[in-house]
């Protein structure tokens, strides 16, 4: 083991520790490591910045804008409201109506806005029909994750792997390549949720502010509002007493839900974190002013988060039409006949996402002057740096060393055993830190492991796409889990009870089917 291998290995361990401790955003953690690798001569400056020009990373940025255009159009809200029964239903029947539609939407849109749109609607609807919202919010998050496994654009993880494949001179993933494995997993996952969620998920836990809400009911100028803190909230990592929330936002914090705990006393001593749910006493001006702000992921006060401004009906249908055209165009553009007819233009997802995002800006489906706030820059920096970290693992020889270890451990099980081990390692990393970093770390291992066995690397690439996204057992494994944790007042153990068996189920299906669909 030479110096470069030891240096990169120690750097990765330090990165994992920093991500788990959550002292800084993932993007700056990965950027710090990449700078250290460049300073040590492990990677060149060109390798350090290569990820920032990768088409997969830029496609992720464009799809943020497309998703925002769909969200602000109000089209999804209209659809889901028509699906929800007004009375006389059960948890299972309601889940059967809504979860497959959620998975279908999330196959083509960023998962976070899907949850941000649907969660307040489901929460308020469940109260009206007398059902526990806790029976719907974790299933909502899981349904979006499952749907994201079905297409190239379903989750940013798939586009990261796709971009890395193209960097290595490979063809990359086509729009519906992942559907062969994603659809069976989604069907099995949804059936599992329908069967077990009624027993494994808690009933509504009482809200400590109910008495407070009754007191202020007489004052029509104030009401209870719940908000979920986003990564751009300026008070993250600060104690509430050192961050004058009331002066900044004109609302009083009455309760904080953090990591499954409900805090109503000594609120000033609480250090605010991303994903915390704050229960506020606010007037109607708060919702109008901050309803479309990027500092809050979600807001609910008896209605879904406002889209910023009323949208005429033609814009709703135009937004959906543009989404359909983007998907159809990217699918047809991959056909050999089309590629032969238009050799000078590569009509892939990058091409059509670019066109769709610009047209949405022209039509003002999202405010073009504010387009930068709809892009999650931390995710993009994380993805871009992930490419450099992957290069460092390959250049140093660490990826080859770990691949040899995987080969030895898999033993008589051969490539199939190596696939299962790689899947498990990727899954553990994504449950502990972040899906995009997990995919970046696993990609060079997949490439080297396939080379050790003389196998086609495609089944290994598909495995890390699934494993890096299918994190169900912890609220930190996927951002949508973090959003619904506070909104549903879930404990950490609620995710473990229902999510760990789902992790195992998805792994068994993936490891069994992937080699049958993509032979070694």
pLDDT digits (tens, 9 = 90+) for 358-404: 999 999 888 888 888 888 888 889 888 988 998 898 888 888 888 88
pLDDT of residue 219: 54
User: Could you tell me the domains of the chain?
Assistant: 62-145+314-373 (no CATH), 210-300 (3.30.70.1450)
Which pair of structure tokens corresponds to residue 165? 């494949």
Handedness of CA 28, 33, 36, 37 (dihedral sign): negative
> What does the alpha-carbon distance between residue 378 and residue 182 come to, in Å, rounded to a whole number?
27
Handedness of CA 181, 184, 187, 192 (dihedral sign): negative
Reply yes or no on whether the pLDDT at 217 is more than 50.
Answer: no
Give pLDDT tens digits for 11-41: 988 888 888 777 778 888 889 999 999 999 9
253: β partners: 280
> What does the alpha-carbon distance between residue 495 and residue 514 come to, in Å, rounded to a whole number?
26
Phi, psi of 519 (to 5 degrees): -60, 150
Give pLDDT tens digits for 333-358: 877 777 777 777 777 888 889 999 99
- Mean pLDDT calculated for residue range 512-520: 93
What are the residues whose beta carbons fall under 8 Å from the beta carbon of 378, sequence distance 6 or more? Answer: 25, 26, 27, 28, 231
> What does the alpha-carbon distance between residue 478 and residue 409 come to, in Å, rounded to a whole number?
29
Which pair of structure tokens corresponds to residue 228? 């979920």
Q: How do strand 252-258 and strand 222-229 relate by DSSP bridges?
A: unpaired
pLDDT of residue 193: 95
Which pair of structure tokens corresponds to residue 46? 């060109």
Reply yes or no on whether the pLDDT at 163 is more than 70.
Answer: yes
Neighbours of 128 (CB within 10 A): 11
- 307 pLDDT band, cuts 50/70/90, is very low
Percent of the residues in the chain that have a pLDDT greater than 90, as a whole number:
23
Residues 430 and 468: beta-carbon distance below 8 Å: yes
Across the chain, mean pLDDT equals: 84
Strand order in the sheet with 261-263: 261-263, 252-258, 277-283, 222-229, 296-300
Q: Which long-range contacts (CB under 8 A, 24 or more apart) does 458-461 make?
A: 458/518, 459/415, 459/419, 459/514, 459/515, 459/517, 459/518, 459/519, 459/520, 460/418, 460/419, 460/422, 461/161, 461/165, 461/173
- 207 pLDDT band, cuts 50/70/90, is low
- Mean pLDDT calculated for residue range 190-196: 94
CA 232 to chain CA mean position, Å = 16
pLDDT of residue 298: 73
- Give the range among 142-156, 197-211, 230-244, 471-485 with minimum mean pLDDT: 197-211
261 burial type by CB count under 10 A (0-12 exposed, 13-18 middle, 19+ buried) = exposed
Which pair of structure tokens corresponds to residue 248? 């900044």
> What does the alpha-carbon distance between residue 26 and residue 13 come to, in Å, rounded to a whole number?
14
């Amino acid at each position: 083991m030479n110096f470069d291998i030891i240096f990169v290995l120690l750097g990765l361990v330090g990165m994992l520790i920093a991500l788990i401790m959550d002292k800084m955003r993932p993007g700056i953690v990965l950027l710090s490591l990449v700078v250290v690798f460049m300073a040590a001569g492990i990677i060149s400056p060109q390798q350090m910045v290569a990820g920032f020009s990768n088409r997969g990373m830029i496609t992720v940025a464009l799809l943020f804008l497309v998703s925002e255009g769909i969200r602000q159009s109000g089209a999804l809200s209209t659809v889901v409201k028509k699906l929800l029964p007004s009375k006389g239903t059960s948890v299972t029947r309601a889940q059967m109506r809504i979860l497959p539609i959620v998975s279908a939407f999330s196959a083509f849109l960023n998962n976070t806005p899907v949850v941000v749109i649907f969660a307040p609607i489901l929460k308020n609807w469940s109260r009206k029909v007398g059902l526990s919202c806790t029976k719907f919010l974790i299933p909502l998050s899981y349904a979006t994750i499952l749907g994201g496994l079905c297409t190239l654009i379903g989750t940013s993880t798939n586009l990261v792997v796709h971009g890395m494949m193209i960097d290595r001179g490979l063809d990359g993933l086509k729009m519906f390549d992942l559907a062969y494995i994603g659809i069976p997993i989604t069907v099995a996952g949804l059936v599992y949720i329908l069967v077990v969620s009624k027993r494994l998920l808690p009933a509504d836990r009482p809200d400590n502010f109910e008495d407070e809400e009754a007191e202020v009911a007489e004052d029509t100028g104030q009401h209870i509002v719940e908000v979920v803190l986003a990564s751009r909230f300026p008070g993250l990592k600060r104690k509430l007493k050192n961050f004058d929330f009331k002066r900044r936002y004109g609302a009083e914090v009455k309760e904080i839900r953090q990591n499954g705990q409900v805090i109503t006393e000594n609120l000033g001593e609480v250090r605010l974190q991303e994903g915390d749910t704050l229960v506020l006493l606010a007037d109607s001006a708060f919702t109008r002013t901050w309803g479309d702000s990027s500092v809050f992921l979600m807001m609910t006060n008896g209605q879904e988060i406002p889209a910023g401004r009323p949208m005429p009906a033609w814009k709703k249908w135009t937004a959906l039409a543009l989404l359909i055209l983007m998907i159809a165009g990217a699918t047809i553009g991959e056909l050999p006949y089309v590629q032969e007819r238009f050799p000078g233009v590569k009509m892939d997802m990058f091409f059509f996402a670019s066109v769709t995002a610009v047209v949405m800006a022209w039509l003002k489906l999202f405010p073009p002057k504010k387009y930068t706030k709809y892009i999650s820059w931390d995710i993009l920096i994380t993805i871009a740096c992930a490419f450099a970290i992957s290069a460092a693992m390959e250049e140093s020889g660490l990826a080859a060393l770990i691949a040899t270890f995987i080969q030895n451990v898999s033993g008589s099980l051969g490539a199939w055993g190596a696939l299962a081990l790689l899947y498990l390692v990727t899954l553990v990393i994504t449950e502990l830190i972040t899906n995009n970093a997990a995919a970046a770390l696993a990609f060079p291992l997949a490439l080297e492991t396939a080379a050790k066995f003389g196998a086609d690397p495609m089944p290994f690439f598909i495995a890390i796409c699934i494993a890096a996204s299918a994190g169900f057992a912890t609220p930190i494994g996927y951002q949508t889990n973090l959003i619904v944790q506070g909104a549903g007042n879930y404990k950490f153990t609620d995710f473990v009870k229902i999510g760990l068996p789902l992790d195992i189920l998805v792994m068994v299906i993936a490891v069994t089917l992937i080699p049958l669909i993509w032979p070694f």
